[in-house]
Amino acid sequence: MSKSHPNTILIHGVPRSGTSWLGQLFNAHEDVAYRYQPLFSHAFKDRLRPDSSPEAIEEFFDDLMTTDDPFVLGCDPDIHGSYSKFRKSADQTHLVVKHVRYHHLLTNWLDSLNSLKVVALVRHPCAVILSWFNAPREFNPEWDPHKEWRLAQAKNQDRPEEFNGFDRWKEAARLFLRLSQERPQQCRLLRYGDLIADPLGETEGVFNWVGLQPTTQSTGFIRESTSRHVEDAYAVHKIKADDQRWRKDLHPAIADAILSDIKDTELEQFAR
């Protein structure tokens, strides 16, 4: 697909969906070159647009393989200080790129490069909204949750690349669902609830889909990341038996509005 590497996998999900953990599950594999939100970085900011050419898209992914930007490499100590360090092979065969923004560019990317694969992670919408409220770098404590939960106007500010709030969760979930149905060879839908219920099995299934075999290091990280708890909104080490905290901590009026909105729609499956 590219001059530099044969396999490119994209991890996409709205903010607070568990993409950081999924990204580190991939990063723990020796053959994976992991890249963190490049289009949000200073080095690659807004480099691609909805009408970017296949050549521009391919060049973008080629450049990601050789970048030395610490943010994109996921080694900025101010942001990624709690992440584990992993041993890597000399010739990494898979480029894995995570974004919680820029989902509106996905269709053009998949149209342009047939060998691209997307792992789309979807979490229960009530859990996403509660997690957003509790993330200090994402939700300003001066904002009113009752005014922000649906449109996230203060955070998104009408920027097309931002996907905070319930309405944009719906937009992304519909996109991921459609892509997984229309392009099953290119897009695989992964539910966060399934991932926390069976991290070893779900990770192995996704790895097989993209042509990776689990290794001692990758399976070891799965066990480590689920066996100790770091009380930090941005940590990837969490002991979680389920994803039901929203039932007691999210305001009932917000939870009821979310669940009523998606009831009897194609999105209700993500709230089960």
Section 176-203 average pLDDT: 97
| Number of residues assigned to the chain | 272
Specify whether the CB–CB gap between 93 and 7 falls below 8 A: yes
CA distance 20 to 83: 10
DSSP string of 171-193?
A: HHHHHHHHHHHH-TTTEEEEEHH
Specify whether the CB–CB gap between 23 and 36 falls below 8 A: yes
Question: Six-digit token pair at 147?
Answer: 């005014």
From the list 46, 28, 24, the residue with the least C-alpha distance to 36 is: 24
pTM listed for this prediction: 0.93
- Quote the Cα angle for 224-230-231, to 5°: 155
CA distance 110 to 200: 28
3-state SS of 20-72 is HHHHHHHHCCCCEEEEECHHHCCCCCCCCCCCCCHHHHHHHHHHHHHCCCCCC
> What is the per-residue pLDDT for 59?
96
Residue located via tokens 């770098």:
137
Instruction: For residue 92, give the amino acid letter.
Output: Q
CA distance 104 to 50: 7
Question: If you ran DSSP here, which 8-state letter would residue 240 be given?
Answer: -
Domains of the chain (ranges, CATH numbers): 7-271 (3.40.50.300)
**Structure confidence by residue, pLDDT tens digits, 149-185:** 999 999 999 999 999 999 999 999 999 999 999 999 9
**Structure confidence by residue, pLDDT tens digits, 223-260:** 998 887 666 655 565 667 689 999 999 999 999 999 99
